[in-house]
Amino acid sequence: MILKDKTLQNAVSPIAKAGQKQEQDVAFFLRRAFKEHQQVYVINDFKFTYNDETAQIDHLIVYTYGFVLIESKSITGEVKVNGLGEWTRSLRNKWSGMASPIKQVELQQKLLREMLHANRESILGKVLGIKQQSFGMRCWSNVCAVSSNAIIDRDSMPNKVSKQLVKTEFLIDKLSELMKLKTHVITKLNPFDTRPSFSDEELKSITSFLMAQLADTKYAKSIIKQAVVQEPVKIKTKINVDSILQCKSCGEKSDYSPQYGKYGYFIKCNKCETNTAMKIPCVSCGSKNTKVSKKKETYTLVCSDCEQLTILI
């Protein structure tokens, strides 16, 4: 099931346009494969903030046995990776170094795991008073999907990197290999597959929690888009996206009071009395160049880079 489509940006530079096109291509294949799938949930362009850190995952898959993070990379020339894991690419017959997308997605996975672990009890709950298995024992996989017309030099590439690197056209085959989703027949043929699995209710709870980090309802999207203008806008309808804000100490997301102090607007947690700044990175582009403003009882976050306006409270 597709929970969130790719969010299109107003890309201007050729590099940005190529990157967005690659993400769209990956999203297309994911939609074709999993649109009606009841064991696989896809969140494209998943941006979240936890512990004052922001991460953006190009494509996140939540399935019965765990998670797959997919990093999209537009590479139309040749790509090489040496024994140290350092990446180089060719563009118009010129070679240059590039940041490792594998290392990038590993950092994203680490922050995601920390966030899920911190909220494990509220997400997975308990059964008969016993804590459920957490997220650490689940399957975690990272994949880098590059353009289908890229030339991949696998001869000198570390085997571990080679296994994580795939052309977009072969992505679904790779995901099938990683996820090993079971049907009733496969379960009978392979009774030794003892991977811990999420129930349908747990999958719904996990994905609901993740989507809450986005505050990404269709209605909220439409209101926020209407607010992207060059001059002040009167927003008559308040969108409840309180889940964006949370106490930095205990993680409380609703029981707090908005206040103003020496360093600007903040929320005071009514449970642990910790103060947390309302100024957070932009929920659209991740920029930290944001400003909080208040009109009557409504608090809004304005991004100076992409001009998105988000209602906080």
Domain finish residue from 176, 194, 214 = 214
Number of structural domains, the chain? Answer: 2
| 158-174: pLDDT as tens digits | 999 999 999 999 999 99
One domain for residues 280 and 155: no
36 or 61, which is more confident: 61
One domain for residues 111 and 231: no
One domain for residues 149 and 229: no
Q: How far apart are CA 127 and CA 246, in angstroms?
A: 27
One domain for residues 97 and 228: no
Domain finish residue from 214, 230, 257 = 214
Chain mean pLDDT for the chain: 83
pLDDT at 304: 78
One domain for residues 88 and 105: yes
pTM of the model: 0.66
Domain that holds residue 166: 2-214
One domain for residues 21 and 133: yes
pLDDT at 242: 44
One domain for residues 179 and 83: yes
pLDDT score of 100 more than 70: yes
pLDDT at 191: 63
One domain for residues 167 and 233: no
Lowest mean pLDDT among 2-6, 58-62, 103-107, 240-244: 240-244
Q: Cα 144 to chain center, whole Å? A: 15
Domain finish residue from 162, 180, 214 = 214
